[in-house]
Amino acid sequence: MRQLYLLPFLLLPVLLPAESYRGFLLTKDGHQLTGYLNVLQYSPGGNIITFTNDFGDEYQIHPFLVSGFGFNYHGEAMRFVSRRHEGMWYFLQEEVRGRAISLFRLPKGSGRWVDDSMLRLFREPPPEYYLEYGQGQFLPVPRGGYKRNLRAFFRQASPELAGKIGSRGYRYRDLHAIVTEFNTRSNRKRRRL
């Protein structure tokens, strides 16, 4: 009989609703669907977002169905794009937007809207960061081997920057600054008519 008293306390975390954030989904044909984004979670095929439209209908949205989504999280605009990497689809968070390259990140469980518990079960977890360049081409930047990958990536466009990769201020944790510096350098090279 004592176990029945514990049952409500055990079910309480399951029954608590996730926070919903007012936002939008961007469809493949460029339309915006407004509603509430509830939780982003990982699955065996990548990750999915739970979306409730303005009529109250709830959907599980897979990244291959939409171009991306966005919402405000504690006053900060959060934008995500859907991309495929090694056979799996992910929503990647925009970290640094630039004319030459942009930096995207795999969402982690830092907020109540991300459930990354399934990510720990992946045999080989996907890289955390990705660079977008050209016409939507993506380069994954894994922590192991990031120096070799970034040096090869920057070698032709910016040999000076490629030579600095791995030194102080140009390490894996400095990816934001590296991308910003590359974009600044590439903007200086452009001529104005």
Residue spans of alpha helices (H) in 90-158: 146-154
3-state secondary structure of 66: strand
Q: How confident is the model at residue 84 (pLDDT cuts 50, 70, 90)?
A: confident
* Whether residue 100 is found in the same domain as residue 163: no
Is 23 part of any domain?
yes
Asked if pLDDT for residue 38 goes beyond 70, the answer is: yes
Note the pLDDT of residue 141. Answer: 92
* Whether residue 44 is found in the same domain as residue 124: yes
Is 117 part of any domain?
yes
Q: Mean pLDDT over residues 166-191, rounded?
A: 86
Dihedral over alpha carbons 50, 51, 57, 62 (to 10 degrees):
-70
**Alpha carbons within 13 A on the beta-carbon side of 121:** 10
Distance CA 106, CA 21 (A): 19
Tokens representing 9 are 């306390």
* Whether residue 94 is found in the same domain as residue 40: yes
pTM: 0.77
Query: 127: how many CB neighbours lie within 10 A of its CB?
Result: 19
* Whether residue 128 is found in the same domain as residue 88: yes
Contact in structure between 142 and 127 (CB atoms under 8 Å):
yes
* Whether residue 110 is found in the same domain as residue 27: yes
Count of domains observed in the chain = 2
* Whether residue 44 is found in the same domain as residue 134: yes
Last residue of a domain, one of 99, 123, 141: 141
How far out from the chain centre does Cα 165 lie? 23
Is 167 part of any domain?
yes
Residues 6+ apart with CB under 8 A from 131: 101, 102, 103, 104, 138, 139, 141, 153, 179
Q: Which domain holds residue 68?
A: 18-141
* Whether residue 112 is found in the same domain as residue 149: no
Note the pLDDT of residue 35. Answer: 94
* Whether residue 61 is found in the same domain as residue 120: yes
* Whether residue 135 is found in the same domain as residue 161: no
Residue-averaged pLDDT of the chain: 82
Note the pLDDT of residue 18. Answer: 53
Note the pLDDT of residue 10. Answer: 36
pLDDT in tens, 101-158: 999 998 876 667 777 777 677 777 788 899 999 887 888 999 888 999 999 999 988 8
Better pLDDT: 9 or 21? 21
Query: 106: how many CB neighbours lie within 10 A of its CB?
Result: 22
Contact in structure between 49 and 37 (CB atoms under 8 Å):
yes
Is 149 part of any domain?
yes
* Whether residue 101 is found in the same domain as residue 25: yes
Is 10 part of any domain?
no
Q: How confident is the model at residue 193 (pLDDT cuts 50, 70, 90)?
A: very low
Note the pLDDT of residue 8. Answer: 40
* Whether residue 75 is found in the same domain as residue 149: no
* Whether residue 125 is found in the same domain as residue 172: no
Dihedral over alpha carbons 154, 142, 87, 94 (to 10 degrees):
-70
pLDDT above 90 covers a percentage of the chain that reads: 46
Q: Mean pLDDT over residues 76-85, rounded?
A: 88
Is 28 part of any domain?
yes
Note the pLDDT of residue 147. Answer: 93
Residue type, 16: L
Q: Mean pLDDT over residues 73-98, rounded?
A: 88
End-to-end CA distance of the chain: 83
Is 160 part of any domain?
yes
